[in-house]
Amino acid sequence: MRYKTINIFLFIFIFSMIVLNCNATGLEDVDAISAILLDVETGQILYGKNIHLKRPPASLTKILTTIVALEEGDINDIVTISERAAYQEGSSIWLKRGEKIKLGELLFGVMLSSGNDASVAVAEHISGSLEKFSELMNKKARKIGARNSFFLNPSGLPQVGHYSTAYDLAVIMKYALQNKVFRKITSTKYITIPWEGHEWDRGLRNHNKMLWSYQDITGGKTGFTRAAGRCLISSAKKASREVIAVVLNCSNDWYELRKLLDYGLNDFQRVDVLNQGDIIHTIKWEESREKKLNIKVNKSIKIVIPRGEKIKIKKKISFDSDLELPINKDEILGKLSIYHKGYKIKTVNISAANDLNYNSIFLRMVNKMKCWFEEIG
């Protein structure tokens, strides 16, 4: 018996009485060269404009710098500031050559004050050089799905060949938010850290004004260079839903970002399509002892839709290879892809919900002997 691909239609209706007066009103065009609104849990794009256009990311680069440092280093490491780090141009936390400071304290300087000196100090401590640290940045970016980016420095200062996209930056932020320390840093409004050689500590104030003006904000990063224009990324959460908004080269960045966050949090709702372990298809198999094979989904599937919208979901099952006896319970069989409005929004593994054996005792014995010989061979 052979099964390769199965298409199934699943209809989900959201009753209008549940969402009375909650219909999505849509979103007018965002005044930015590139922009994106991303749902954190599902990874769905709720709004997009030139999302894969390669642009200078300015200091939004520092999000990747910070998460790489958190994963590769120890926040309690003592960092000795080099001359190169101390004399970086642009935004600074006034580091001095030979100064010693903890890595974790430097990362507050990277994210809150956008310190280019702190960024270089972090990179040199983790990898020994900016070039080697950039290799780590690009490796991490590719691994998490930011494949249209290339980073040549940890600060975002203009450099030919240093670029990213609105989509990639949202993906990087989504990944970074999984780290509890990163969440703490990016959501901190104000902090003091040691200032070697002074009688007072450094006071660092977060450049992200949304932390004071937007109730549901959870973090973000500002950025600006002449080449990049005004850039801004922020995340916000209401109830159980969190979204990320990015605007690149946006003259009215605070207004446009707020507009995106409002749209993402207020005009959409999450729908549970399938729960982990749900049976999604049954195959009759008369030649087997059990007579049928139940196929289950290995992971819960949720999607986000405009409030009040009735949707039709298409499920596509693709088996990794032809199905043949015997099949063991929980054995991975292939993939389930979920489509909404013609777009694939999720792919998860599917597996057998039950054993499926030969109907003949003789064939079962032959199979056991075959497996035994394979094991000892």
Structure tokens at 279: 């049976």
Out of 34, 59, 155, 288, pick the active-site residue. Answer: 59
| 230 DSSP β-pair partners | 224
62 is catalytic: yes
Q: Kindly report the backbone phi and psi dihedral angles of residue 143, in degrees, each rounded to the nearest multiple of 5, phi listed first.
A: -65, -35
Q: Please say if 114 is a catalytic residue.
A: yes
Catalytic pick among 34, 62, 91, 234: 62
**CA 62, CA 221: separation in Å to the nearest integer?**
8
The catalytically annotated residue of 34, 113, 114, 155 is 114
321 is catalytic: no
Torsion (CA) 251, 253, 254, 260 in degrees, nearest 10: 140
CA distance 130 to 107: 16
Written as six digits, the tokens of 191 are 């902090």
Catalogue the active-site residues. 59, 62, 114
